[in-house]
Chains A and B, each alone.
Chain A
């Protein structure tokens, strides 16, 4: 007995959806529809910025910012009549092309039947019934798919290395240790469409000759873990995992391993160490994991997003997949767009879409219609790309040329009010916290760069500090053991490249004109605007404001501790900083 309709709900602000769900449930019960309509909770709903999202399928009508009062309207017109309720409906923005996220929001991730109904495991059956492993790898090479975890290494080529090595046991690992601040594409796929990842892994396992795979998922994603585990059980029960899959003689099974929250464990060799139960530190390569990986066996590690592409490639043909995107980067990429953009959320676009299209056409432009300053791509070890390069088509090579990286697809939009020193400090601080501490360039270099940035943001910087930042950056890039250290300085290097003036303002003028570096604030009373209400004087905890309601007020800069209480207290915007 299937459901006739499905309602997907999601609180895009991350709030508690339970009351809404209960109200919706009550309404359905009152209408006698409980048996026919299934309610599905989603963790993420794509590119919607505010409030509760409701999507009704099969009509695929999407509402955003839904209030409790709207429930009845939705049930009446959409659930009962199959029509959009005129006041609240909003179509998803265009320009997106969903391959990785094709099923997210369209299937119940806890029901394998839903996935199968949408051609799920058809790619696997095609592969196992009509292709040998070499043909599978050739097809992957033809597709041009490159790793979506950050490195951008051609997936087919990677598989071919593990295929070539003779060994009694090989492994395939799904890297779900998504740790970039603000990124959640892997989580969305694992939570919204786990079977596509399992299917991708099984195809990969067949290609390289592995009979066992692990999904390494960070423990902070309990829903993803639960759904993946359920999906594995269902796949086993349906014969898509286990012994002799589709009667082909191919055995393959999967297991979940939890990550303990170390960012560096997303690095292949550190991830392997972690799965083996060791301290999560990278080791030198070669040997590469494809030759000597988990427990010294040939091991392929693919990112969640990479794997989710694979069933699509085999269903639709590598040539068709390769038609999407640019010469060097085929297919689509999912970005987690956040920051000062009107609609933040996940976006999946063909490679080659420009940053401007992503930020303005899909993301709806800058919050409060301010001026855009730059876009930061690639997560904490990515770089910033200033406004004048926004028309660059996004792909691996173009981002690299601009001093940034694709990374796993973080995209943070900065407006004119963002301070590059502050931003660099944040990103570098993340990498310094997450450095495993094994190699000296990353361990000490990161810390020293952060110390210098702090000095600059406190107004104690010297021009030689900028040279030292460049010098340490170079050494970290060249001499760090793994990708984390090699790229950790990117935010600093790229902001120094494009916004050196901002740094010089901090260092020479001792000012942060973006109003972010607290120690560089100079609070002054704008006498024209001042109404002499004395609120600032009364709020000052150190008696730095002299004057009277008759004469007006002045701030003694020597006494001022830059706490900002006056600035906040003033009702007339008469204090500048």
Chain B
């Protein structure tokens, strides 16, 4: 705690606050292009400079701790002019092709240029000519648009611990690239897309598959089926000025029908199916000792990719259950096709996901073709859907609310919380309790697995038996859990029985394909949106979902049945970190 002065306003600050943080407390916005709350300040852009009385130098507000008695000036003609020069320099090193850029109207650099009223750049253009890297099918790297803020590298190396992206070369030739100047697709990249979600410009961008979707929607021979992931419904509104966490499920169903989809399903339904499979698998291993513990969740394709590359010794712990997206894709071309007498060859399964890695998951192994066709065909992210809505000329936020198509659209509260860290665990525990005891829980909430703490370790008791669990999100937090498992294996004493991992901080609500501007505050709001959806649901456990029951009664038989294994389960193989 201390007191300082900013532009003459007295400000009280807590220890550890920077000048930038303290200024925000008195409604002063110091511009910056590199600082993001999710990463450590690097001081790269040089825009947030401020003056301190009695010091001739200018200080970086983003990384200078505020101290007792400091007298800071954040805006005066000299400071603003210096910022403007730095901004002009950055623009002289940028293509400035805003009209053709995916970040048009949604770019931090563009906004700043607009705010500063930049009308001309007095310096010659020195723009690097570096080709785009499209090798991942999920994320496109366009280094010529990069302003070297370093957020993506920080996210990739320190938050996600993947180390696919780094800076190469020096001076004016500095650029982002996988180490060794290889393609991103040949690097350890797990396609989580956190780089793209944190990029202030268009230098890292999701692979845009909207054109593919428009094309199949207009093809009279195709039967387009869509699913929306849990986390999409509480974030899509941000593209239309609504606060994070606003639940737009009903409007999304209406919208997707108006866009031309023949069947509108919900990934929340297949999340319920996932719980039936994964929950049963857990019971098999925990109660009947068939298979090693802990069981580790596998809904997240980035986590699966990460594990196959970095922790292949964990494969035996992995749930063989596919992700909800892939389960729904497989069921759409089998169960749904049969019920409605459709030719599965004509069905195109499109999913709207908060995630860039889902684009990679489509073809990740042979199991993704279990229906006899590619189970899911196209993935678009929340950001792509927002663009499609705007192109379609639909007043999205004024739409009436409709219901999904019933056979695979209805969900329970357990399915919807999949989108937040701890959600899969909580949903699984609700059903596991029933599977073990054949009783129903009085109170279904497991608060200890909720929240943004990087690793949540806790225990639950089912009829006096302790289940030790761990929930990790943000890949940088995984190593701690994995090392504990390895240690436990060595000592013959397992620290956990059940582990949930989500690659992105906050879980899918903080996914790499979600609307820009992610912070912990936004994560909390989106998460709240999902938990409210759960609370409002009349059914809150996956095994209560009548359509899930129907699915097993009419088609799959029972969880972990032969047919379920064929369609809803997969295998894992160790993969090299580097392809070449």
List residues of chain A with CB under 8 Å of any chain B CB.
262, 279, 281, 283-284, 286, 432-441, 443-448, 451-452, 464, 468, 471-472, 474-475, 478-481
Contact for A439 among B43, B57, B58, B169, CB less than 8 A: B43
Chain B 59-79, CB-CB to A under 8 Å as 1, else 0, gives 010111100000000000000
Taking a contact as CB atoms under 8 Å apart, the answer to whether A435 and B60 are in contact is: no
- The residue on A at minimum CB distance from B63 is A284
Taking a contact as CB atoms under 8 Å apart, the answer to whether A447 and B126 are in contact is: yes
Contact for A283 among B42, B124, B166, CB less than 8 A: B42
Considering the chains assembled together, what is the distance between the CA atoms of A435 and B171 in angstroms?
5
Taking a contact as CB atoms under 8 Å apart, the answer to whether B86 and A443 are in contact is: no
Taking a contact as CB atoms under 8 Å apart, the answer to whether B148 and A448 are in contact is: no
Given A438-B42, A443-B148: A471 and B85 interface contact (C-beta under 8 Å): yes
A432: B residues at CB distance < 8 A: 171-172
Taking a contact as CB atoms under 8 Å apart, the answer to whether A437 and B148 are in contact is: yes
Taking a contact as CB atoms under 8 Å apart, the answer to whether B170 and A436 are in contact is: yes
Taking a contact as CB atoms under 8 Å apart, the answer to whether A475 and B89 are in contact is: yes
Q: Is the CB of B307 closer than 8 A to any CB of chain A?
A: no
Q: Is the CB of B5 closer than 8 A to any CB of chain A?
A: no
The 12 listed contacts between A and B (C-beta, < 8 Å) are A436-B170, A436-B171, A438-B44, A440-B44, A440-B46, A440-B90, A441-B46, A444-B92, A447-B172, A448-B124, A472-B85, A479-B58
B166: A residues at CB distance < 8 A: 279
B427: A residues at CB distance < 8 A: none
- The residue on A at minimum CB distance from B87 is A440
Q: Whole-angstrom distance from the CB of B351 to the nearest CB of chain A?
A: 39
Considering the chains assembled together, what is the distance between the CA atoms of A284 and B63 in angstroms?
7
A447: B residues at CB distance < 8 A: 93, 126, 171-172
Q: Is the CB of B123 closer than 8 A to any CB of chain A?
A: yes
Considering the chains assembled together, what is the distance between the CA atoms of A472 and B123 in angstroms?
10
The interface centre, meaning the residue of A283, A448, A474 with most chain B CB atoms within 10 A of its CB, is: A448
B23: A residues at CB distance < 8 A: none
Taking a contact as CB atoms under 8 Å apart, the answer to whether A451 and B124 are in contact is: yes
Q: Whole-angstrom distance from the CB of B551 to the nearest CB of chain A?
A: 53
Taking a contact as CB atoms under 8 Å apart, the answer to whether B64 and A475 are in contact is: no
Q: Is the CB of B338 closer than 8 A to any CB of chain A?
A: no
Taking a contact as CB atoms under 8 Å apart, the answer to whether B123 and A284 are in contact is: no
Q: Is the CB of B167 closer than 8 A to any CB of chain A?
A: yes
Considering the chains assembled together, what is the distance between the CA atoms of A286 and B64 in angstroms?
6
Besides A437-B167, A440-B147, A443-B172, 11 other A-B contacts (C-beta < 8 A): A281-B167, A283-B43, A284-B43, A435-B172, A437-B169, A440-B46, A441-B46, A444-B89, A448-B89, A468-B122, A474-B85
Q: Whole-angstrom distance from the CB of A460 to the nearest CB of chain B?
A: 11
Report B283-332 residues with CB < 8 Å from chain A CB: none
Q: Is the CB of B97 closer than 8 A to any CB of chain A?
A: no
Considering the chains assembled together, what is the distance between the CA atoms of A283 and B158 in angstroms?
15
A436: B residues at CB distance < 8 A: 170-171, 174
Taking a contact as CB atoms under 8 Å apart, the answer to whether A440 and B63 are in contact is: no
Taking a contact as CB atoms under 8 Å apart, the answer to whether A441 and B86 are in contact is: yes
Taking a contact as CB atoms under 8 Å apart, the answer to whether B44 and A472 are in contact is: no
A475: B residues at CB distance < 8 A: 46, 82, 85-86, 89
Report B108-139 residues with CB < 8 Å from chain A CB: 122-124, 126
Q: Whole-angstrom distance from the CB of A89 to the nearest CB of chain B?
A: 49
A-side binding surface: helix, strand, loop or mixed? Answer: helix
Taking a contact as CB atoms under 8 Å apart, the answer to whether B46 and A479 are in contact is: yes
The interface centre, meaning the residue of B46, B60, B93, B124 with most chain A CB atoms within 10 A of its CB, is: B46
A451: B residues at CB distance < 8 A: 123-124, 126
- The residue on B at minimum CB distance from A468 is B122
Considering the chains assembled together, what is the distance between the CA atoms of A452 and B271 in angstroms?
61
Considering the chains assembled together, what is the distance between the CA atoms of A451 and B167 in angstroms?
24
Contact for A438 among B62, B92, B174, CB less than 8 A: B174
Considering the chains assembled together, what is the distance between the CA atoms of A434 and B174 in angstroms?
12
Contact for A444 among B47, B63, B93, CB less than 8 A: B93
Contact for A441 among B41, B89, B170, CB less than 8 A: B89
Considering the chains assembled together, what is the distance between the CA atoms of A446 and B62 in angstroms?
23
Q: Whole-angstrom distance from the CB of B552 to the nearest CB of chain A?
A: 54
Taking a contact as CB atoms under 8 Å apart, the answer to whether B85 and A440 are in contact is: no
Taking a contact as CB atoms under 8 Å apart, the answer to whether B150 and A472 are in contact is: no
Taking a contact as CB atoms under 8 Å apart, the answer to whether A437 and B57 are in contact is: no
Q: Is the CB of B352 closer than 8 A to any CB of chain A?
A: no
Q: Is the CB of B49 closer than 8 A to any CB of chain A?
A: yes
B90: A residues at CB distance < 8 A: 440, 444
List residues of chain B with CB under 8 Å of any chain A CB.
41-47, 49, 57-58, 60, 62-65, 82-83, 85-86, 89-90, 92-93, 122-124, 126, 147-148, 150, 166-167, 169-174
Q: Whole-angstrom distance from the CB of B14 to the nearest CB of chain A?
A: 17
Taking a contact as CB atoms under 8 Å apart, the answer to whether B170 and A474 are in contact is: no
Considering the chains assembled together, what is the distance between the CA atoms of A471 and B85 in angstroms?
7
Taking a contact as CB atoms under 8 Å apart, the answer to whether B43 and A437 are in contact is: no
- The residue on A at minimum CB distance from B170 is A437
Q: Whole-angstrom distance from the CB of A521 to the nearest CB of chain B?
A: 24
A443: B residues at CB distance < 8 A: 93, 148, 171-172, 174
Q: Whole-angstrom distance from the CB of B108 to the nearest CB of chain A?
A: 14
Given A436-B171, A438-B148, A440-B147: A480 and B46 interface contact (C-beta under 8 Å): yes
A441: B residues at CB distance < 8 A: 46, 86, 89
Q: Whole-angstrom distance from the CB of B36 to the nearest CB of chain A?
A: 15
Considering the chains assembled together, what is the distance between the CA atoms of A443 and B122 in angstroms?
17
Q: Whole-angstrom distance from the CB of A405 to the nearest CB of chain B?
A: 14
B82: A residues at CB distance < 8 A: 474-475, 478-479
Considering the chains assembled together, what is the distance between the CA atoms of A382 and B122 in angstroms?
27
Q: Whole-angstrom distance from the CB of A463 to the nearest CB of chain B?
A: 13
Taking a contact as CB atoms under 8 Å apart, the answer to whether B44 and A439 are in contact is: yes
Q: Whole-angstrom distance from the CB of A446 to the nearest CB of chain B?
A: 8
A471: B residues at CB distance < 8 A: 85, 122
Taking a contact as CB atoms under 8 Å apart, the answer to whether A434 and B171 are in contact is: yes
Taking a contact as CB atoms under 8 Å apart, the answer to whether A438 and B150 are in contact is: yes
Q: Whole-angstrom distance from the CB of A360 to the nearest CB of chain B?
A: 34
Taking a contact as CB atoms under 8 Å apart, the answer to whether A468 and B45 are in contact is: no
Taking a contact as CB atoms under 8 Å apart, the answer to whether B64 and A284 are in contact is: yes
Considering the chains assembled together, what is the distance between the CA atoms of A443 and B169 in angstroms?
12
A481: B residues at CB distance < 8 A: 43-44, 46, 60
- The residue on B at minimum CB distance from A482 is B43
Taking a contact as CB atoms under 8 Å apart, the answer to whether A284 and B42 are in contact is: yes
Given A444-B126, A478-B58, A479-B58: A437 and B173 interface contact (C-beta under 8 Å): yes
Taking a contact as CB atoms under 8 Å apart, the answer to whether A448 and B123 are in contact is: yes
Considering the chains assembled together, what is the distance between the CA atoms of A259 and B147 in angstroms?
28
- The residue on A at minimum CB distance from B166 is A279
Contact for A437 among B86, B122, B174, CB less than 8 A: B174
Q: Whole-angstrom distance from the CB of A376 to the nearest CB of chain B?
A: 22
A281: B residues at CB distance < 8 A: 167
Given A451-B126, A468-B122: A439 and B171 interface contact (C-beta under 8 Å): no
- The residue on B at minimum CB distance from A473 is B85
Q: Whole-angstrom distance from the CB of B241 to the nearest CB of chain A?
A: 31
- The residue on A at minimum CB distance from B173 is A437
Considering the chains assembled together, what is the distance between the CA atoms of A468 and B122 in angstroms?
8
Considering the chains assembled together, what is the distance between the CA atoms of A373 and B340 in angstroms?
93
A-B CB proximity, top 4 nearest = A437-B174, A479-B46, A284-B43, A475-B85
Contact for A284 among B60, B93, B170, CB less than 8 A: B60
Contact for B170 among A262, A283, A468, CB less than 8 A: A262
Taking a contact as CB atoms under 8 Å apart, the answer to whether A440 and B45 are in contact is: yes
Considering the chains assembled together, what is the distance between the CA atoms of A480 and B86 in angstroms?
10
Taking a contact as CB atoms under 8 Å apart, the answer to whether A478 and B57 are in contact is: yes
Taking a contact as CB atoms under 8 Å apart, the answer to whether B65 and A286 are in contact is: yes
B147: A residues at CB distance < 8 A: 440
B62: A residues at CB distance < 8 A: 284
Considering the chains assembled together, what is the distance between the CA atoms of A498 and B166 in angstroms?
43
Considering the chains assembled together, what is the distance between the CA atoms of A230 and B92 in angstroms?
51
Taking a contact as CB atoms under 8 Å apart, the answer to whether B167 and A279 are in contact is: yes
A438: B residues at CB distance < 8 A: 42-44, 148, 150, 167, 174
A437: B residues at CB distance < 8 A: 148, 167, 169-174
A434: B residues at CB distance < 8 A: 170-171
Q: Whole-angstrom distance from the CB of B398 to the nearest CB of chain A?
A: 43
- The residue on B at minimum CB distance from A445 is B89
- The residue on A at minimum CB distance from B60 is A284
